[in-house]
Structure 1
Amino acid sequence: MEARGFCFPRQRQVLFLFLFWGVSLAGPGFGHYSVTEETERGSFLVNLAKDLGLEEGELAARGTRVVSDDNKQHLLLDSHTGDLLTNEKLDREKLCGPVEPCMLYFQILLDNPLQIYRAQLRVKDINDHSPVFRDKEMVLKILENTAEGTAFRLERAQDSDGGHNGIQNYTINPNSFFHIKICDSDEGMIYPELVLNKALDREEQQELSLTLTALDGGSPPRSGTATIRIVVLDINDNPPQFAQALYETRTPENSPVGSLIVKVSAGDIDLGVNAEVSYSFFDASEDIQTTFQINHFSGEIVLRALVDYELVKSYKINIQAIDGGGLSARCTVLVEVLDTNDNAPELMVSSLSNYIAENSPEAVLAVFRIKDRDSGENGKMVCYIQDNLPFLLKHSVDNFYILMSEGALDRETRAEYNITITVTDLGTPRLKTEHSITVQVSDVNDNAPAFTQTSYTLFVRENNSPALHIGSVSATDRDSGANAQVTYSLLPTHDPQLALASLVSINADSGHLFALRSLDYEALRAFEFRVGAADRGSPALSSDALVRVVLLDDNDNAPFVLYPLQNGSAPCTELLPRQAEAGYLVTKVVAVDGDSGQNAWLSYQLLKATEPGLFGVWAHNGEVRTARLLSERDAARHRLLVLVKDNGEPPLSATVTLHVLLVDGFSQPYLPLPEAAPEQAQADSLTVYLVIALASVTSLFLSSVLLLVAVRLCRRRGAVSEGRCSVPGGRFPGHLMDVSGTGTLSQSYQYEVCLMGESGTSEFKFLKPIMPSIQVPGPGRNSEENPTTPNSFGFNFQ
């Protein structure tokens, strides 16, 4: 026998109907979707592109993602079609437990530009669970004098399904003593009560066994059964009484296992066994039984497992006290769980980019969300990054943050950044979470190559071998990769006289410079050019540097004798009066060297003479003087061989042959040299000559000026009776002279050398350029005023 009755008031029924009518009229709207649990993976839910009003393919172009609140990928977005699909079979009972409706909240993130939409998915229940009684057998002890109509509340069955698929009815097998009444609890669930139809008689029947069946509302319905064993007792007319009908207590969530929560107490005024009270949980869920434990004798409730505020914020525990006679009483214990700051903030990255171009003014590096499972001050969070970094955090909606660059970066200043995102809550003590992001700054070609020197000076010895490595230039580029690869080249020269392409070449990769041919110091003392360095960026950047190549002189030119000339048709004869004293200047050997420096320092030496000891040559100026007085026994003709040697390594030399003729009655007076100075004076003279030798370049230049003046004087004095100074036909060989004027004599002049016979010392008088059009005067011109005697070398002595 069964009866169906709802125990909630009529006003509550009317309110429930209005609420149900209001929900049924609400339209789905954007962001509200539903799916039936246990639907196969990949099932279609909705086309987000159409729902958001976007074009096909725009979701993929904007980098759309679906982020769930619980960080689990329940859903899958096909960004190409815009379809939102299930990523797994959804179990409503695992996701939401007894909560109905079961809602999964998620966000739709669109990049470029950034947009965030909130959405929810309702998981609809199916009837996939049967009702289950916690105890397969319930024992009721009922006094035999219990009045008819007395109701005994039974423990309800548990059904993981919700809504209409939850438990809808209870039935009992037909019997003459009891029927079932359905009542509504404060939690909105139904529970059964066993109602006594007629009085029990223990002497007639001590026990009854009934089958209680729980039915859900599925189609087809599922059921679960339990056995009710009824024990008929003798009269116990005083049930236990609790000291409080409601116990309220609080416990922090970090309380250790075994902590006392509360102690309940019930008394019974009966005596004996009927006054012995035992305590137990009544109609307790599995969660309560695994979390709490009650002492059956003392009524103390202690923690059996740790409580977590983030999972359950409060517990409602029904306690039953039964005396020895089977009478019972119930009370309620409300346990409020207090939050402690036991959860550090969480940081979930939704979008991340580890590379940024150095010229990007603003770029989004990461999009992330922060979350703290605590509440109150413990759940409030502060998010920040290190100071002095060119990055900033921007707060978006729903605790979303955007990490972006603050301006353009410079890779050459810093190529890598380690950004630490710190999230701190405001609890006590404060907990924090750190997340590090490494950002690489990619290079752009914004730096031109830079030479290590603004100018280079390279020294090369002349007569070098072709392809000789003469030096290197080097340039560096602060960029990286191809932007830092430097190639070298010779830049066009502005000097049209300089054939740079035939002189040097450069290795494009290493910057090594090579001489293409043998260089001649006498032809080219130095030259300069510019070298360019360009990187391989796009566009390429370049710079240049000045290179000066200075040639070093080798001793490759032997001395050349200007006077007396050795290529004349007749030998040059010097006249020496027999009256000459010791130290008389016979003549002076004049020589030049095409080299420079010490390679052009000349010294003179008498190698051979017809009469040894009669003549001597001064080493520094080439003057040939008599070493003693002449005698009548000395031969009339003498032949001298003079060696001219430079100071190079190894030294080069030339020889000149002098012919000296001793004459009597030399009419022209001569200036005798002063008597020989003492040895100290000779040493001083040598010191003077050494100083003159060190300043040879200056003295030779002055000699050249004197030669030019002498040439002009020679032309004005007139010719001798038998002709002027004779020189070889044709132009003087110019290839033997210095090319740039820094040697002992310049190439731009060729000289005629004459000695004047009027001087008793036969001093060197003048040099003048030889002109091809020189005409010798006739024998009658000035023959009386200037009688002359030509010598065999073409030099006229007056």
Structure 2
Amino acid sequence: MPERLAETIVALWTPLIILWITLPTCVYMAPMNQAYTLSTGSPLELGRQSEELRILNRSKRGWVWNQMFVLEEFSGPEPILVGRLHTDLDPGSKKIKYILSGDGAGTIFQINDITGDIHAIKRLDREEKAEYTLTAQAVDWETNKPLEPPSEFIIKVQDINDNAPEFLNGPYHATVPEMSILGTSVTNVTATDADDPVYGNSAKLVYSILEGQPYFSIEPETAIIKTALPNMDREAKEEYLVVIQAKDMGGHSGGLSGTTTLTVTLTDVNDNPPKFAQSLYHFSVPEDVVLGTAIGRVKANDQDIGENAQSSYDIIDGDGTALFEITSDAQAQDGVIRLRKPLDFETKKSYTLKVEAANIHIDPRFSGRGPFKDTATVKIVVEDADEPPVFSSPTYLLEVHENAALNSVIGQVTARDPDITSSPIRFSIDRHTDLERQFNINADDGKITLATPLDRELSVWHNITIIATEIRNHSQISRVPVAIKVLDVNDNAPEFAAEYEAFLCENGKPGQVIQTVSAMDKDDPKNGHYFLYSLLPEMVNNPNFTIKKNEDNSLSILAKHNGFNRQKQEVYLLPIVISDSGNPPLSSTSTLTIRVCGCSNDGVVQSCNVEAYVLPIGLSMGALIAILACIILLLVIVVLFVTLRRHKNEPLIIKDDEDVRENIIRYDDEGGGEEDTEAFDIATLQNPDGINGFLPRWGMPTERWEERNAIQTGCV
């Protein structure tokens, strides 16, 4: 307690002592036209100064104080005396009045108008206003006339250490990488002090750390914070709280202080390798698991965080490297083991893998610590499952001749149950692939037989699907595609490839090629087509035409002579026999029509007729004309029949039903030829109302006319 009391007394009296010492330095020589004396200090000091001033004024007029000082934050029972105004024109008769104006005059500062004493009537704060400019004037008490011009002076508020340092931006946060070397800069902080930085040490700050040692240190003057320990480990401790103090008065006793906090977070670096949680992993998987299914997960833990903890996983050894694969899950940071190829419990029941986890992002500063990776062993056990039947082949290709007998065996498929407890298999055909039911299969042994005849020319391939089903478990089925190829049999005779029609010029030359023809065969022999051409036996010695086989399997027809005459015979029909090379060979006869035409000298066809003639047998020209005449006569009869039928069905135009009963005509006489035709007009029957407009024809006999009227009037 005595020490604390002593510090308080020193803090209060030090500014007063400094003020007392510095007051004499504020005296300076004023201009000659001013005669005010400004005094400041205690009453005793003021009296001494007044006496000295009077002595000086007797020798030389004009000592002036143009500054006054007042201590901030001073408070007492009485207003504090700041200073005194005095003019050498004042004889002491109290006829002079002092007037004060300017900053704070009358509100903050008050003057005794007789003595010139200036008092501060309010508590002052330098941080609010550091100085005040006022004007002093001496006037006659009675007339209020100024005795001298006004004089300006300044009252300065003297600072005391009444403001503690403040950290305006606190609390602070900073980061520094873990494992940093000693003295690594973390951050810097700044405090402010509202006291006067140019007067004394009130604003001179010194920084120190109250909490946070021995991990961090601070520069006393710059407030730069650094690491005080090397290689701090984030995995051991990630966050530190540092309490920082700023003290004024240069850090000496009696100074004021302020504090703030700094939170320092160590950021992660990749200084730790991954580590598997266990050295051996066990997984089991059914043998019928779908490819790509996740079998299990392995995880290597890493004390680092973020990308520094990311690891890649690989299978580096084992007897299942071809069947399994491992992928990295970036979200969970683990490795996922998946199936690449099918498993078979009957073939192999377990596998062993060696997996490795390695950091992706390596920090070269710590690479010397060793490999940033770890390994573990994975044991995978294959479990037995009820598997569907397995065919002996993934696909089957069968062949059958198109003339194969019904119910003949085309081929056979086989399948087995791969399970240890083998089940019998039954076979069937998927009828969606055999809609016409052309094939059957033996349910027990898988033999495929022919159910309907086949025709290669209609369809060469037949694709069906065979189903194998376990008898003990009907849900276990398998399917296999079977392609059946229909082999060719020579069952189609060759024929002309097109409907040929040849033209022969009357002025043609012997040996001239009239037409070249080719043949086609729907069959498809293995060695290709080879055709034989010949004429009918009765036409071998044909006097008009001959044939010639070409190397390209075609046939040329040649004229034996010239001088063909279309007036004599216009059309020739030449039957040609075509045989194939099959076993047995097949043949057919195709007829080529050869038309005799009139041609120009250069062989261009100009005109042809349409009559046909078979050499050497056929119909005569008279027979053909008779047939044509019969056809024309038949057409005429049909036309007449249709015409008469149409006239018979046309209704008469009559007025009512009574006219039909009355208009009955009977003829007992013979026809009169032209006279009879002209004597009767059939239009009258069709229009009875037109009788009044009837005009008899010229030359009609009178009796015919009277008879006509009698008929029309119904008098017969």
TM-score for both structures, normalised by structure 2: 0.38
Q: TM-score, normalised by structure 1?
A: 0.35
> Radius of gyration: which is bigger?
2
Greater helix fraction, Structure 1 or Structure 2 = 2
